[in-house]
Homo-oligomer: A and B are copies of this chain.
């Protein structure tokens, strides 16, 4: 043992070297990962290893409007794709007030308790306007958010439902590659978002409460027809009897719709997300659905046709965006609109003029 070189009385002799609390190698790696932008390969490797930080980062790339980020996002998705698709995708909708967050918290916790890995995403095109995302306030699912086997991501913002939908679709792929086997997509229950969500999930759950009187709206907007199950929430306390009555009524209403091409007969059930009762029955319904559609090959057919749908949808949206954002067209469009207004041009002739100009360029 050497005598220290320092002259201070406070100097001490060296003892046995203690291991560092944090491995400097690992600390360096984490720092590098956080500070530097990890390479595509690195991101993919980490995602495939179930790293939620890497997953979050990849989703951020998907949601970015920066063309460089988008290019990188496309690479990540391409490499994740062969590892995706091994999950069940469940859409959950319901008008504000039915208790969607409480239900998803209770349902998600139930799923992780039986060994599932649960990712919760959201489609909320309105959040881009109000800047308030439905899942933004994560404290609304405070139990689930702390769960190691759960991943919660607020709704992507975007100018259009199409944009939000694309981001969500690609986030699903990333979550699946990260090992999440149960993907829940929440929608706000207003506007056209249900249709978008319906076209990206395998199973569609409509959350209701008894006596809300919004049945007509649901029928009108085709929501009830899309539902694979109707779950009547808040079946607790004084509400139990009313919820049972509502169950009978919804069962009757569902019979009025034509049979589903899946062969599945939609089921109605009641639950209390607050008291955490009836949640297992919901999962039983969903499980028996997946058993059936995986056996009759409807599961694969539906995913294939959803893929086709999104490919076409993206093309059609882009064709329009390119046309209407063309500087020459947008000027001419205003002129032609006026000419149509003044009965100098029929709408069809005006369209023809615009199209000819566009395709000449």
Q: Which residue of B lies closest to A217 (CB)?
A: B256
Q: Say yes or no: is A170 at the interface (Cβ < 8 Å to chain B).
A: yes
* A77, closest chain B residue (CB): B346
How many copies of this chain are found per oligomer? 2
Residue A349 at the chain B interface, CB threshold 8 Å: yes
**What separation, in Å, do the CA atoms of A77 and B77 have in the docked complex?**
51
From B309, B322, B337, A311 is in contact (CB under 8 Å) with: B337
Give CA–CA (A135, B217) in the complex, Å: 35
Contact between B220 and A348, CB atoms less than 8 A apart: no
CA distance A236 to B173 in the complex (A): 62
Does A323 interact with chain B (Cβ within 8 Å)?
yes
- Report which of B225, B316, B319, B346 forms a contact with A81, defined as CB distance below 8 A: B346
A 71-82 to B, binary, CB cutoff 8 A, 1 in contact else 0: 000100110011
A77 to B350, CA, bound (A): 12
Let me know if A129 is at the binding interface, CB within 8 A.
no
Smallest Cβ-Cβ distance to A84: which chain B residue: B343
Asked whether B340 lies within 8 Å of A307 as measured between CB atoms, the reply is yes
- CA gap between A169 and B350 in the complex, in Å: 14
Cα A350 to Cα B312 with chains together (Å): 10
Q: Which of A15-23, A98-106, A187-195, A351-359 contacts B (4 or more CB under 8 A)?
A: A351-359
Asked whether A347 lies within 8 Å of B219 as measured between CB atoms, the reply is no
The answer to whether A308 and B322 touch (CB under 8 A), given A78-B345, A84-B343, A219-B219, is: no
Is B169 a contact of A348 with CB atoms below 8 Å?
yes
Given A74-B346, A82-B344, A311-B348: 9 more A-B contacts, CB < 8 Å: A77-B349, A78-B346, A81-B346, A82-B343, A84-B343, A308-B337, A311-B336, A312-B351, A316-B320
Binding site for B on A (CB under 8 A): 74, 77-78, 81-82, 84-85, 166, 169-170, 173, 216, 219-220, 222, 225, 256, 304, 307-312, 314-316, 318-320, 322-323, 336-337, 340-341, 343-352, 354-355, 359
